[in-house]
Amino acid sequence: MSFSHFDRAIAVFDFGSQYSQLIVRRIRELGFQALLHQPGQVGEIGRPSAIILSGGPRSTSEPDAPDIDFDRLMEYGVPVLGICYGMQLLNLKCGGRIHPGTTREYGPALLRPAVADGLMAGITDSQVWMSHSDTCERPESARVLAENQDGIPVALQWDDRMFGIQFHPEVSHSQQGGRMLANFLAMAKDPAKFEIGAFKDRLVAETREIVAGRPVVCGVSGGVDSTVLAALLHEAGVDVRCLFVDNGLLRKNEVQDVVAQFEEIGIQIEVIHAADRFLTALAGVEDPEEKRRIIGKLFVDVFFSAAGDIQLLAQGTLFPDVIESATSGSIASTIKTHHNRVSQIMELARQGKVLEPLSDLFKDEVRALGRAMGLNPRVLGRHPFPGPGLAVRCPGAITEERLEIIREADEIFIDALRRHGLYDSVWQAYAAVLPCKTVGVKGDERVHEAPVVLRAVASQDAMTAEWVRLPGEFLAEVSNRILNGVPGVSRVLYDISTKPPASIEWE
């Protein structure tokens, strides 16, 4: 069940680039509304104020290369910017040619502006980030806006409202990319502003109108997304029934904390106690994808059994979830298997009974929405917690003993982060336990017990992440507390892997 297109938004068409949603994010950071669309939706985007065609992994020379209805695109009469693949596609549409490159250009390159106006206003020689293998041969009428260090045109203008750049201005590696996007947005036709307070008011009104008095079932976890969703429904005056599944894979005292958290908002939640069912189903299972499959399927079974007949189902799906799950025909690849819609939810979606009011937002925007609704900062600042729970922090077979080690070690780690004023400077932190034994000495005896891994990362949206340089004294304190206070642990490690190539979670 979709919400409005937000007329006068910047329309970004996704040709499969890993950076497509980052374009949307950068535009919103500049204060304007942007929405992501698939190329086949070119006639369904309302009244855009400008259009951007994203990059993509394909070559325009491939027989089945992604395309777009160019005539329909031009009917909007607004400025158009092609990025990487988008530039090559526009060049073809405007009478140019594309030549396959002998090597793929990926990484930093030097941008040398050839003009000082329009898209290049205020842009100087600087680093940009390339990711392509084909080269544009421009039509004679096209204007060269910039070249690379080898004198090859990497920015073109075909007419007074159509531009193309061969690099990615949306990534931080392109040093003046933000300014370039701002220059393009300055040409947009009365673009809609993105201001979270006004967005909240509109979302509340739209939610009330779409629900139209029908009862809503909402699954909650206590995380930022589901809490903001429930609060939004509550503020809209919706008759909402919130269900919380205790799958036995939660952190220490999680059930009590979540119940109290929602009571503070004025919402009563129903707790479904199903820990025994989950742990029984997971007994002896070591394959991480099989764990996720079991958890996802059982969660849906337990949830729908408790929910009964559903007129409307509300989900806290965010923008990255939509893209990574490759729903609605996205070109992007499936990454998170536990986000894929199972048959029951797909059937509800087919009937127009799935409500996802947060699906155009990033995590930090959801937090801003929660602040606009007056939610507790401690709740909004809570670190993300994965859908499969502690299962992704317990490589190997899941047992109650190993889960208890994670819970106790995690509580010590998170408590220390809060006491030392470090919690809010970390995107996500947790403890995991490894599926092996390591030798240790306790008292006068040698022991073989589990190693615990601590992980703390900094990120904006979980697409990339950097490990946090926590003080050595702090890590020593946490390690000492875990080794002396958590039975079954003989070693504490600190994970210093970045994403990519590592993921944030262990499984």
Residue 236 has phi, psi (to 5 degrees) of -80, 0
pLDDT per position as a tens digit, 355-389: 999 987 888 889 999 999 999 999 999 998 998 99
Least confident of 183-192, 260-269, 352-361: 352-361
The CATH code of the domain that includes 485 is 3.30.300.10
Residue 385 lies in a domain: no
Residue 75 lies in a domain: yes
Q: Which of 166, 185, 204 is the last residue of a domain?
A: 185
Q: Name the pLDDT band for 101 (thresholds 50, 70, 90).
A: low
- For the chain, the maximum distance between any two Cα atoms, rounded to a whole number of angstroms, is 84
**Together in a domain, 420 and 364:** no
Number of domains observed in the structure of the chain: 3
**Together in a domain, 160 and 202:** no
Least confident of 236-250, 254-268, 294-308, 338-352: 338-352
Q: Which domain holds residue 323?
A: 196-380
What is the predicted pLDDT for the residue at 497? Answer: 96
Residue 321 has pLDDT above 90, yes or no: no
Average pLDDT over residues 256-277: 95
Residue 1 lies in a domain: no
Measured CA to CA, the distance from residue 355 to residue 258 in angstroms comes to 22
The CATH code of the domain that includes 95 is 3.40.50.880
The CATH code of the domain that includes 252 is 3.40.50.620
Residue 320 has pLDDT above 70, yes or no: no
Strand partners, 12: 36, 52
**Together in a domain, 111 and 242:** no
Q: Name the pLDDT band for 200 (thresholds 50, 70, 90).
A: very high
Name the nearest CA neighbour of 441 among 405, 491, 493: 491
Per-residue CA distances from 443 to 460, 484, 491 (Å): 44, 11, 15
Q: Which amino acid is at 439?
A: V
Strand partners, 73: none
Residue 256 token pair: 């009590």
What is the predicted pLDDT for the residue at 105? Answer: 60
Q: Which residue has the higher pLDDT, 432 or 1?
A: 432
**What percent of the chain is predicted at pLDDT more than 70?**
92
Q: Name the pLDDT band for 112 (thresholds 50, 70, 90).
A: very high
pLDDT per position as a tens digit, 399-414: 999 999 999 999 999 9
Residue 505 lies in a domain: no
User: Any idea which residues carry the catalytic annotation?
Assistant: 84, 168, 170
Residue 506 has pLDDT above 50, yes or no: yes
**Together in a domain, 245 and 365:** yes
What is the predicted pLDDT for the residue at 142? Answer: 93
- In eight-state DSSP terms, residue 234 is H
pLDDT per position as a tens digit, 38-88: 999 999 898 999 999 999 888 888 888 899 999 999 999 999 999 999 999
**Together in a domain, 137 and 226:** no
**Together in a domain, 449 and 306:** no
Measured CA to CA, the distance from residue 189 to residue 181 in angstroms comes to 15
**Together in a domain, 277 and 206:** yes
**Together in a domain, 326 and 295:** yes
**Together in a domain, 28 and 156:** yes
- In eight-state DSSP terms, residue 191 is P
Residue 264 token pair: 């503070």
List of residues 6+ apart from 83 with CB closer than 8 A: 17, 23, 52, 53, 54, 55, 164, 165, 167, 168, 169, 170
List of residues 6+ apart from 62 with CB closer than 8 A: none
pLDDT per position as a tens digit, 416-448: 999 999 999 999 999 999 999 999 888 778 889
**Together in a domain, 208 and 128:** no
**Together in a domain, 214 and 181:** no
Q: Which of 150, 185, 220 is the last residue of a domain?
A: 185
Per-residue CA distances from 212 to 80, 319, 454 (Å): 38, 25, 47
Average pLDDT over residues 245-251: 96
Residue 477 has pLDDT above 60, yes or no: yes
What is the predicted pLDDT for the residue at 329? Answer: 35
pLDDT per position as a tens digit, 280-294: 999 999 999 999 999
This prediction's pTM: 0.77
Q: Which of 380, 415, 441 is the last residue of a domain?
A: 380
pLDDT per position as a tens digit, 444-466: 788 899 999 999 999 876 777 89
Q: Name the pLDDT band for 326 (thresholds 50, 70, 90).
A: very low
Give the DSSP per-residue string, 448-503.
Answer: EEEEEEEEEEE-SSSSSBEE----HHHHHHHHHHHHHHSTTEEEEEE----BTTS-
Measured CA to CA, the distance from residue 273 to residue 225 in angstroms comes to 22
What is the predicted pLDDT for the residue at 418? Answer: 97
What is the predicted pLDDT for the residue at 328? Answer: 34
Residue 4 lies in a domain: no
What is the predicted pLDDT for the residue at 102? Answer: 54
Average pLDDT over residues 176-203: 93
Residue 209 lies in a domain: yes
Residue 190 lies in a domain: no
**Together in a domain, 258 and 371:** yes
What average pLDDT does the structure give for the chain?
89
Residue 208 lies in a domain: yes
